[in-house]
Structure 1
Amino acid sequence: MDQDFHTAAKAPWAVQASRGRLHPEAEDPARTPWQRDRDRIIHSRAFRRLQYKTQVFVFHEGDHFRTRLTHSIEVAQIARSLARMLRLDEDLAEALALAHDLGHPPFGHAGEEALNACMRPHGGFDHNAQSLKQVTALERRYAGFDGLNLSWETLEGLAKHNGPVRRPQGWIAEYDARHGLELGSHASAEAQVAALADDIAYNNHDLEDGLRAGFFTLEEAAALPLCGEALERARRANPGLPEDRAAPEVVRRVIAAMIADVAAEARARIAALAPADAASIRAAAAPVVAFSPRMAALNEETRAFLRERMYRHFRVNRSMGKSKRALQVLFQLLHGAPQMLPDRWRQEAGEAGTPHAARVVCDYLAGMTDRFALEEYRRLTDPHVGG
């Protein structure tokens, strides 16, 4: 590890200064623009709601399973570690990590599939675009503007953290027309770090949750090379390692190995590119922050294992199937009768059955927690439950 790990100044290719905000504001002398973005994200309603939004398990299925909130915090921790190792702006990487799931609807990927099916005649639904919409329009906290008025760099990273957006649609296209985000290029290295941190956290913490839920055993997971190597090292370093400590020990070792791999690969790519500044990172032909080919293959192997043994498990399918139907019923009822929406949303929805009403209903549903969506479903479908 570099001796200046804790004290090194930012690299030339890190983001150095902000391009500002859509609505000009005097910056805070005590905080960088991205510290201020982070604080606005943490204080937003959408961030608080992540506590009761599904990662894999619906909120009532167990207190120790991940939610979107705990996942986002874990992603932010990994993103800060990677950003520091690569001498990037830690605050920007952290803000992007904390905001990346703000657009996720209730019930995880099942909820996204349900809303996308409902919205297919009206442009579809994408949680990345919804995250951008949440922070630029749907949050209503400030007197002078809708949204959180985040910095250009944070908005760029939300829109492009998975790579250039060649054919923008929906809200990403609408917002870009007002406040150009240079969608055809890569995002900053900080945004690329946040995207890789999401991959690292997602697979590893789902492994731990899957073990806790009994979907597979530790020995079965150890058939994966990453897990098997980590388990062998953990048992060698800790003779008589208790089984209840083995799983978290494996997960932390795999996370550390993946972080080290990304850091090494990114350093090699940056050395080959020799970027002069952050603009050089954006203009590059490929991302500079990535897994090595070997780690990318191992990560995909883990993803395939989880897909087969966890995401398609009958218990998950039953829970997600019920949740998906509840969200579809809510959409149909409210799109057909927007007068049943709360005041703010009813006024914005306008006439029943229109594409505009569909988008407003979709925004309303996407913001719900698992708990509120199930309660709303009961209120609107059970005659014995009051409105």
Structure 2
Amino acid sequence: MQSSDQLPCASDPAQTRGRRYPERPAPTRTEYQRDRDRIVHSTAFRRLVYKTQVFLNHEGDLFRTRLTHSLEVAQLGRSIARSLQINEDLVEAISLAHDLGHTPFGHAGQDALHGCMAGFGGFEHNLQSLRVVDRLEERYPQYDGLNLTFETREGVLKHCSRSHAEQLEASEPGGVGSRFLRREQPSLEAQLCNLADEIAYNAHDIDDGVRSGLISLAQLRDVPLFDAYRAAAQAEYPDLASPSLQRRLLFEAIRRMLSAQVYDVIDATREALREHVPASADEVRRCPPLVLFSGGMRERSTALKQFLFRHLYRHPQVMETTGLAQEIVRDLFAAYVAAPQEMKAAFAQQALGGDASMRARAVADFIAGMTDRFAAREHERLTGRRLLGG
């Protein structure tokens, strides 16, 4: 039964569309709680601790990793879900799984691998996350993958090209690829995870960027979303203007910015729900996006992302490291395609047992599963050159 304090349009674990391989219900956990537990215990989830966001693993111990990012998304998502009265457990499961398919070296690795796979369907990290939970995890005797519920898998597949959606639909009619063909929305919980992901990114990239010295508090005065809360914090606590207290000022400004974004999402979503009044989770899918920022907050959030793109993601120091990371991925891809036996046995067997497309996909699966440091070590082993981590 759905909890009495949840909205009727929230996802109900008792009404799940089910798993690809039917299983008996658990005696003490809902279906979404089981999904969360399977994700936390997966090998791919543990690897996230050594997969990075903007700053690579060797550049410092305190920068965010994919694991800490996923935990922050889950925390934000659960807090908002509780206020909106939608399913917290599903939000947590999606949040913890949404980056399982990310390559080593953040977006640099993803872009490089996409280029390597250009002749074989490309590489999409959201689709790779689905491959991880559907096929690549090997934990159960009955099936490949984690056998998660439809709703969690739907949330993991945040984006999907039409060609890949058509392939998914052919193999699983009415499955997680269908909504991209019908231009429908996912569940409220999946929509919330998408927004919590954005909120977390904006906040922790400011923190990591200032910590690294690549952006400054002075530069951030040009960013209205951040500077309004910096100014408010400094007005309330004048001592924070002291150079020795700049870290506290940064943290307080970020905390206030996060809170403002959370409250904005809650208010804007409640207004959208009042306007469209979906009576069920399925009706949510036929509505326009319902979990959203207000217009003003969306504008300010976009401006912050543009600032980070110009001053952090395209900073010369970041770009230099990005170039080396992409060289590692491209070299690994070429080496494994030429000599699949250099990969772990399961991937080598798959690569050697198929055509060129299957070989390339096996190589992409192997590389995508690597941590930053394993990829760097493998590159050094295969090429004799150390590009990162020296």
Q: State the TM-score, normalizing by the size of structure 2.
A: 0.92
Instruction: Return closer, same or farther for 1:99/1:171 CA change in 2, 3 Å cut-off.
Output: farther
What is the CA-CA distance between 1:176 and the residue it aligns to? 3.3
Number of the residue aligned with 2:321:
319
AA of the residue aligned to 2:69 = H
Separation of aligned partners in 2, 1:251 and 1:165? 34
Contact 2:153 2:176 in 1 (8 A): no
What is the CA-CA distance between 1:204 and the residue it aligns to? 1.1
Separation of aligned partners in 2, 1:14 and 1:165? 27
- 1:229-378 matches, within 5 Å, as 229-241=228-240, 242-284=245-287, 286-350=288-352, 354-378=356-380
Number of the residue aligned with 1:208:
207
Contact 2:165 2:177 in 1 (8 A): no
Separation of aligned partners in 1, 2:100 and 2:239? 42
What is the CA-CA distance between 1:172 and the residue it aligns to? 4.1
AA of the residue aligned to 1:133 = R
Query: Which residue of 44, 47, 53 corresponds with 1:46?
Result: 44
Query: Which residue of 6, 9, 12 corresponds with 1:10?
Result: 6
Deviates more, 1:229-238 or 1:174-183: 174-183
Contact 2:169 2:177 in 1 (8 A): no
- 1:58-137 matches, within 5 Å, as 58-137=56-135
Instruction: Return closer, same or farther for 1:351/1:274 CA change in 2, 3 Å cut-off.
Output: closer
Separation of aligned partners in 1, 2:316 and 2:17? 49
What is the CA-CA distance between 1:27 and the residue it aligns to? 1.4
* 1:243-295 superposed Cα distances (whole Å, 9 cap, x missing partner): 120111111111111111111111111000011111110111x1100111111
Number of the residue aligned with 1:4:
none
AA of the residue aligned to 1:144 = Q
Contact 1:129 1:172 in 2 (8 A): no
Separation of aligned partners in 2, 1:60 and 1:170? 40
AA of the residue aligned to 2:79 = S
* 1:15-38 superposed Cα distances (whole Å, 9 cap, x missing partner): 122121111111112111111100
Separation of aligned partners in 2, 1:342 and 1:278? 42
Contact 1:8 1:87 in 2 (8 A): no
Separation of aligned partners in 1, 2:344 and 2:278? 51
Number of the residue aligned with 1:20:
18
Separation of aligned partners in 2, 1:22 and 1:274? 31
* 1:216-244 superposed Cα distances (whole Å, 9 cap, x missing partner): 21121122111111011111222312212
Instruction: Return closer, same or farther for 1:353/1:377 CA change in 2, 3 Å cut-off.
Output: farther
* 1:66-87 superposed Cα distances (whole Å, 9 cap, x missing partner): 0000000000000001111110
Number of the residue aligned with 1:196:
195
The secondary structure found in structure 1 opposite 2:89 is helix
Instruction: Return closer, same or farther for 1:171/1:361 CA change in 2, 3 Å cut-off.
Output: farther
Separation of aligned partners in 2, 1:29 and 1:362? 39
Structure 2's unaligned 5+ residue stretches are none
Instruction: Return closer, same or farther for 1:172/1:295 CA change in 2, 3 Å cut-off.
Output: farther
Contact 2:53 2:105 in 1 (8 A): yes
Instruction: Return closer, same or farther for 1:358/1:166 CA change in 2, 3 Å cut-off.
Output: closer
The secondary structure found in structure 2 opposite 1:240 is helix
Instruction: Kindly indicate whether residue 218 of structure 2 is the aligned counterpart of residue 219 of structure 1.
Output: yes
AA of the residue aligned to 1:51 = V
Structure 1's unaligned 5+ residue stretches are 1-6
Separation of aligned partners in 2, 1:194 and 1:118? 29
Contact 2:112 2:326 in 1 (8 A): yes
Instruction: Return closer, same or farther for 1:312/1:138 CA change in 2, 3 Å cut-off.
Output: same
What is the CA-CA distance between 1:181 and the residue it aligns to? 5.2
What is the CA-CA distance between 1:90 and the residue it aligns to? 0.3
Deviates more, 1:180-189 or 1:120-129: 180-189
Contact 2:168 2:176 in 1 (8 A): no
Separation of aligned partners in 2, 1:179 and 1:149? 14
* Cα root mean square deviation, aligned: 1.9
Contact 2:187 2:281 in 1 (8 A): yes
AA of the residue aligned to 1:67 = T
Instruction: Return closer, same or farther for 1:190/1:25 CA change in 2, 3 Å cut-off.
Output: same
AA of the residue aligned to 1:246 = L
